[in-house]
Copies of this chain bind each other. A is one copy, B any other.
Amino acid sequence: MFSGAQISLYPMCDDFVAVIMDALGALDPYRDRLRIETDDISTLIVGPPEVIFPAMRDLFTAAATTGRHVTMHATISRGCPGEPDDPICTPGTTPPEGPVADRIADGLAALQDAPLTGQDIAAQLSFYMLGATGHMDEIYGVIDLIRASGVFERPKNFCTKLRGDAGPVMATIYESFTRFGPPDGHVTLDLTLSANSPSPR
C-alpha cells in the first residue's frame, strides 16, 4: 500500500528560507526510512504512517520553536489506487478493523503513550475516505476520537480543530488516519498546523 504526504512549511518572516533550511535537520533521523522529493510548492515524503507522522511533528516543532509564526500544510494519503506500490511504505503494524467504538477506545489507549514536545500548536484536519459508501460513519468516528483526545478545540465547517502540545496533537491525527477507513482503502487527510499566530482564536 502506497502511503505518504505532500508537505509545505510556511514561516511568516523575511528569512523564511533560513527557518526552513534549519528545520529540515529534524528530518535526519527519518531519512533512511523515507523517500523525499522537493519542488517549488511542496515536498513529497513517501513512507509508512508510523514514520511520516513523527517526521512531520519534528519538522514542524523545529520551525515553531524559533518563535516565528509558522504553518505547515500536508496532503496525506494511503491506499491511492493510482499510485505504484512501494516497499518503503509497508507499515510495521496491521491497520485495525472492527466496530468504530472499539477503534476509538483503542486509539484513545494508544494516545496515552504520546510524548510531549513542549511546543503548543493548533491543527485542523479533514478526513476523507474514498471509493466506498459509509464515509460519514468513519468521519464521525474520527471526530468522536478527537473530541475525547484531550486536544480537541472545536468543530468547524469542513474540518475539525485541535490545540495542544504537538506530541499529543500529532499522535491524535496519526490515530485518526490509521484507525478509520478500510485497512487497505483509499484514505486521505487535508491537514494544517499553525504555531505562534498573532490572530485571535
The reply to whether A135 and B126 contact each other, CB–CB distance below 8 Å, is no
Q: Note all chain B residues with C-beta closer than 8 A to A199.
A: 38-40
Q: How many copies of the shown chain assemble into the complex?
A: 2
Tell which of A8-16, A53-61, A103-111, A169-177 binds the partner: A8-16
The reply to whether A8 and B71 contact each other, CB–CB distance below 8 Å, is yes
Asked if A88 lies at the interface with its beta carbon under 8 angstroms from chain B, I say: no
A197 to B66, CA, bound (A): 22
Asked if A116 lies at the interface with its beta carbon under 8 angstroms from chain B, I say: no
The reply to whether B81 and A136 contact each other, CB–CB distance below 8 Å, is yes
Interface size on A, residues (CB 8 A): 58
Tell which of A93-101, A144-152, A154-162 binds the partner: A154-162
**Contact partner, A158, options B4, B16, B73, B157, Cβ 8 Å:** B4
Q: Note all chain B residues with C-beta closer than 8 A to A130.
A: 128-130, 135
Q: Note all chain B residues with C-beta closer than 8 A to A129.
A: 130
Question: Nearest Cβ in chain B — how far from A50, in angstroms?
Answer: 19
Nearest B residue to A139, CB-CB = B82
Q: Note all chain B residues with C-beta closer than 8 A to A81.
A: 136
Q: List 21 A-B contacts (CB under 8 A).
A: A6-B159, A10-B10, A12-B12, A12-B16, A38-B199, A39-B161, A39-B201, A40-B201, A41-B192, A41-B194, A42-B156, A42-B192, A44-B157, A44-B158, A75-B126, A75-B192, A80-B158, A82-B136, A126-B190, A130-B130, A158-B188
